[in-house]
Amino acid sequence: MNESKLNLAEVYELIMFLQQVGEFKRSLILALAHIYPKRVTASELSLIAGYSPKSKYIYKNRALEELENENIINIQSLSKKNQLVQLNQNHSNCLKLIEACTEAGERVTEVLFSMLSGGRE
């Protein structure tokens, strides 16, 4: 990533991008941005986004499918029921969000990685 800081127009663009996707998808995108470049399963993503990892809402809602169709996330299928999810750094808004979370979101990143490790970090 380059050393540039986001300007106000880019910050505004990010705010509008996150506003348009809705609350559930926004929580998924923000969680993925904080842990980038790590790939996580859907249940791990549910957990760090603040939802029950046992809930099937992430599938029933079709959020992952829609985010993939919008090129916001990449999904790697390991098997029919096991997929790894990662934010798409080639999407301009996702790249800016990754930059912002890397630059200013260290504490949240630490908390999310701690949740992924079961609080053992």
Closest CA to 30 of 91, 90, 87: 87
48 — pLDDT class (breaks 50, 70, 90):
very high
pLDDT the model gives residue 1: 45
In this structure, what token pair is assigned to residue 75?
């999904």
Q: Tell which CATH architecture fits domain 8-116.
A: Orthogonal Bundle (1.10)
Q: Are 45 and 31 in contact (CB under 8 A)?
A: yes
pLDDT the model gives residue 41: 93
CA–CA separation, 8 and 96 (whole Å): 12
Q: How does pLDDT run across 83-118, given as a tens digit for each residue?
A: 899 999 999 999 999 999 999 999 999 999 999 998
Query: What are the boundaries of each domain within the chain?
Result: 8-116
Q: Residue type at 10?
A: E
Beta strands in 1-121 (DSSP E): 40-41, 73-77, 83-87
- Average pLDDT in the 21-43 region? 96
Query: In this model, does residue 56 exceed pLDDT 60?
Result: yes
- Average pLDDT in the 30-59 region? 91
Lowest mean pLDDT among 55-59, 70-74, 106-110: 55-59
Q: Which residues pair with 86 in a beta bridge?
A: 74
- Average pLDDT in the 51-78 region? 89
CA–CA separation, 2 and 63 (whole Å): 30
Q: What is the pTM of this model?
A: 0.90
Instruction: State the Cα angle at 50 between 47 and 53, rounded to 5°.
Output: 30
